Amino acid sequence: MKNLYSGIRGTADLSPSETALFLDIVDKSREVIERFAYEEIVLPVLEEKGLFEKSVGENTDIVERQMFKIEGKDIVLRPEGTAQVVRYFLEKSLYKQHDFHKFSYVGPMFRGERPQKGRLRQFYHIGAEAIGSRSFYVDAELISLCSAILENIGVRKFKLRINSLGCFRDKSRLSSFIKQSLQEHKSKLCPDCKRRIRHNPLRVIDCKKEQCRAVVKSLDFKEAHLCKDCQRDFRNLLNFLEETGLKYVYDPYLVRGLDYYTNTVFEIVSESLGSQNAIGAGGRYNNLIKFLGGPDIPAAGFALGIERIMITLKESPPRYSIPVFVAYSADADSNAVYGILSNLRKSGINCDSDYCGKSLKAQMRNAQRRGVRFVVIAGRDELKKNKILLKDMKESRQEEIDIGVLAGKLNSFIKEKKGD
């Protein structure tokens, strides 16, 4: 019989400490995102299949092989957020309200890839999209936001790889050039790339296989396909990045695996990851909104992969610990004990107790293991006098105090001892 307590391959269960790290990453990202004035939106996990076919592209790995479809329906679990944000933008006709919009999102994405370290079938994106401007300052802002988020989270060693695919026309020119140039080298390419030459020649450029890399490296196409305007914008962007101290590596072989990109594309890579070394990626998609039936509005954005960020972080934040534990002796009135616990919580104090009838000694051990600073000890005789013992675990001191003043005292102790 199938084991019913095995998780789905390519999905991850996060333990409490991993969840603490996950939430810490999200909190620290939001802090920075707010500073850059991107407004968070929450969009559904389910979307029309056609949205991704048209935007990400029918001949991309994501659409061809990786989308999770709902049986019998044209609905999929979203593989990415950009197309979805554009769908939302168009559905609500947001371009009629203002010229420029900045959105951010955090949520799960789904791709049926072959699972390995850093490559999951359900993973989380922290993304940002700026819609309505062609200015290269927007590209610079997104890159700077990306790196500020990573710095705030504590990711140290990362590199920005950047390239420009040029406008739609430039990109088509590059695509034809690659297609033509690769014909004579076809036999040296991997089976996937042999197929890509016909449907998606640009993808051959960033194939990771050695044999394909060697062929691509022999072709010379650095910036040659870019029109004057696109060349100027790209130069301006790189100059501005240099002026603001943002280090980058210009990589003419960076093309990205989603069809909607035009002009700037970038990837943030970390040395501490293996083959799946991109912790984030993004770029411009100036034609996507029009392509999906909307007005001619340019846009750009990026997404960071939370699980890959987690792998790069060696240290977890300190585990969440409660400041107060309510312990009791076996003969204490349990209603009074749980009443104290409930009142402390009503007063805003994070606390816990024992629910398994453990001995007082075992409860004290439990409190110690959890790093609790104060233990409220409720004994039968003290409770009768409306009192308890309050023990400061760090200073090994205890005093008898009235239950009526307990919450107030604990609140001021906790405030006083914070960081102590």
Tell me which residues touch ligand HAM (CB under 6 A). Answer: 80-82, 111, 113, 118-120, 123, 125, 127, 129, 278-283, 301-303, 305, 307-308
- Both tokens of residue 329? 């002796």
- For ligand HAM, give the closer residue by CB, 117 or 217: 117
Determine the Cα–Cα distance for residues 151 and 29; give it in Å rounded to an integer. 10
- For ligand HAM, give the closer residue by CB, 251 or 354: 251
The CB-of-300 to ligand HAM minimum distance in angstroms stands at: 7
Determine the Cα–Cα distance for residues 137 and 141; give it in Å rounded to an integer. 6
Whether the CB-CB separation of 67 and 112 falls below 8 Å is answered with yes
- Both tokens of residue 110? 């789904």
What's the length of the chain?
420
Determine the Cα–Cα distance for residues 326 and 348; give it in Å rounded to an integer. 15
- For ligand HAM, give the closer residue by CB, 140 or 351: 140
Pairing of strands 101-110, 122-131: antiparallel
Query: Please, which residues bridge with residue 7 across strands?
Result: none
Q: What is the DSSP letter of 327?
A: E
Amino acid at 33: I
Q: Cα torsion for 16, 22, 24, 27, to the nearest 10°? A: -130
The CB-of-369 to ligand HAM minimum distance in angstroms stands at: 34
The CB-of-224 to ligand HAM minimum distance in angstroms stands at: 25
Determine the Cα–Cα distance for residues 360 and 259; give it in Å rounded to an integer. 64
- For ligand HAM, give the closer residue by CB, 77 or 367: 77
The CB-of-23 to ligand HAM minimum distance in angstroms stands at: 18
- Both tokens of residue 115? 């699972």
The CB-of-308 to ligand HAM minimum distance in angstroms stands at: 4
- For ligand HAM, give the closer residue by CB, 301 or 379: 301
- For ligand HAM, give the closer residue by CB, 123 or 374: 123
Whether the CB-CB separation of 217 and 185 falls below 8 Å is answered with no
The CB-of-66 to ligand HAM minimum distance in angstroms stands at: 8
Determine the Cα–Cα distance for residues 67 and 62; give it in Å rounded to an integer. 6
The CB-of-375 to ligand HAM minimum distance in angstroms stands at: 42
- For ligand HAM, give the closer residue by CB, 54 or 125: 125
The CB-of-284 to ligand HAM minimum distance in angstroms stands at: 8
- For ligand HAM, give the closer residue by CB, 219 or 311: 311
Rg value, the chain, Cα: 28
- For ligand HAM, give the closer residue by CB, 120 or 337: 120
Query: Interhelix angle for 228-243 vs 136-153, to 10°?
Result: 40
The CB-of-278 to ligand HAM minimum distance in angstroms stands at: 4
Residue nearest to ligand HAM (CB): 305
Determine the Cα–Cα distance for residues 184 and 213; give it in Å rounded to an integer. 15
